[in-house]
Amino acid sequence: MHAPPPDSAAVTEPIPTQLLLRAYRAGVFPMADYREDEEVYWVEPRERAIIPLEGFHASRSLRKLIRSERFAVTLDGDFDAVIDACAQPREEHAESWISLRIEASYRALHRAGHAHSVECRLDGELVGGLYGVAFDRVFCGESMFSRADNASKVALAWLVACMKAAGYRLLDCQFMTGHLASLGAVAIPQARYLELLAAARGKPGCSLPEAWQSFVQASGADCVSAPSPGNSIVQSLTQTS
């Protein structure tokens, strides 16, 4: 068991934004051993989990749930709340790898426009979501959480639909899990991941917020925080290029 360090500004001193982006472009990302850890270590997995955008598996029940618009889904509606929820201890992990320093780093990345969150709300309460890093035509998913059945799946489905609409090419999930595999994730060697990363360089057709806006406008809403147009999302997920 790690003993918490003494109070120190170093705990929440962010990793410089440009350093973080360089790391992601090189195929590595930071983690920590526990919440109050002042240190970070850089991870380059031998095997990488990705979700091919055209291979996202939306089951019949998930498509039905998205169309029902049971959850109000937003983009960047409350990044701070999402990363805070993702950092909470879980039954399978007593310690969070999202340290205070890492959390502060991604908040700064979000303010710079390179980190985004997806929120799912039920009756106004935040019940699920995810966050990650966006650069070039790549989105690196960092973490997700769910306090209601399938809330994180809906958030991920929305993200995939918007990535497709914006012209993104690579959705990185870092480590394979059964949950991700059920949604179409595949494991590839790190060398192959670096090839896909290089192929995804360049600007997308539009930003994720702009793609999000296009789906919202399709439902007649006037802002990115409006309830989600489920039919348009499902149609995007079932279309192939």
Read off the pLDDT of residues 118-175 as tens digits, 9 standing for 90 and up.
999 999 999 999 999 999 999 999 999 999 999 999 999 999 999 999 999 999 999 9
Nearest in space to 159 (alpha carbons), one of 82, 60, 91: 82
For 158-190, b where at least 16 C-beta lie within 10 A, e where not — what string?
bbbbbbbbbebbbbbbbebeeebeebbbebeee
Residue 238 contacts by C-beta under 8 Å, 6 or more apart in sequence?
58, 63
Mean pLDDT of the chain: 88
The predicted pLDDT at position 219 comes to 57
* Report field, pTM of the whole predicted structure over 0.75: yes
Check residue 226 and give its pLDDT: 47
Q: What is the pLDDT at residue 1?
A: 32
Domains in the chain, CATH or no CATH each:
9-238 (3.40.630.70)
| DSSP 8-state assignment for residue 39 | -
Q: φ, ψ for residue 53 (rounded to 5)?
A: -60, -35
Q: What tens digit of pLDDT does each residue of 182-230 get?
A: 999 999 999 999 999 999 999 999 999 999 888 877 655 444 444 457 8
As a whole number, mean pLDDT of residues 50-61 equals: 95
